[in-house]
Homo-oligomer: A and B are copies of this chain.
Amino acid sequence: MLDVQGSDAPLTICPNGNPSSECSHCKVRALSICSALEGDEVQALDKITRHISFAKHETLFAQGDLLDAVYNITSGSVRLVKLLPDGRRQIVGFALPGDFLGLSMSERNGFSAEALSVTATCQFPRKDFSALLDAKPHLLRRLHSMASHELSLAQDQMVILGRRTAEEKVASFLLGLRKRWARIDGSTVRAPLPMSRQDIGDFLGLTVETVSRMMTKLARDKVIVIVPDGVRLLDPARLEALAET
C-alpha cells in the first residue's frame, strides 16, 4: 500500500487553512473543480474548506442520508455503492484523486461513498459551497461540466453492463481505469487496482469468480501482468481490440 501512515491517530488533519495543505500546493488542483478559480477566488474556497482523511473502508457518506457536505478527493480512492434491499450490490463508480463527490448538489445521496484506502479529501459544507456557486458562475459551469462528464461515463458504463461479454467488461474496465490514472500520475502502462475483485465484479455486473477467471485469462494471453495492487498492461492495443470499443 502506498498511503500507509500511522493509522490510530485521529484522521482529521489540518482543519481550516493549514499552510502546508493550502490549495496553492495542491497536486490535483488542475484536475479538480478548483481549476475554475484563480488567485484570490481560491481563497474564498479555502475559507470553507476542511481537510479530512478517511481510513480504509471508512464511510464518507451513506446512501439515503442528507448530503451536508461535498468532497474533493486529493489522494486515495473511493467506491460509490448502491445496495438493493436484498443485499445485492452495484458499484456505480470509483472516485480517484481530483474527483468531486456531490456533483449533483442534491438533497440526498443516491449511494454510499466508502474509502478503498486511506483517503484525503477537501470537505466543503454544502450550503457554503452552494453559496459560492451563486457567487461564482464559472465555478458552476465547471461543476456542470464535471457532472456532464460523469453522465457520459455513466452512459458508457450502461453499454458495458448491458451489451458486453465478461471478457469485454474486464478489458474495458482496465483500459478505462488506466486512462484515468494517466491523467493523475502520467503512467501509461500501470493501472493500480485499489479495489477488490468483488468490487470490480459489483461494478461490472459479474461475480468475483468470473472477474478472477477473466483476469487470469488476460494474463495467460500475455495482454496484462498481474502485479501487487494492480495490473500492468503489456499490450494495450490487444486489450482495446478485446474491449470492442
Contact = CB atoms under 8 A, between A and B. Distances in A.
Interface of A: 82, 84-86, 88-90, 92, 103-106, 110-111, 133-134, 137, 140-141, 143-145, 147-152, 154-159, 161-164, 202-205, 244-245
**5 closest residue pairs by CB, A with B:** A162-B205, A104-B148, A161-B161, A154-B154, A90-B159
Given A137-B140, A147-B147, A155 B110 contact: yes
A204 B110 CA distance: 20
Contacts of A204: 162
Nearest to A168: B84
A90 B163 contact: yes
Given A92-B155, A104-B149, A154-B154, 18 more contacts: A84-B244, A88-B163, A89-B163, A90-B162, A105-B148, A106-B148, A110-B156, A133-B141, A140-B144, A143-B144, A147-B147, A147-B148, A157-B158, A161-B161, A161-B162, A162-B204, A162-B205, A163-B205
Contact of A158 (B88, B148, B154, B164): B154
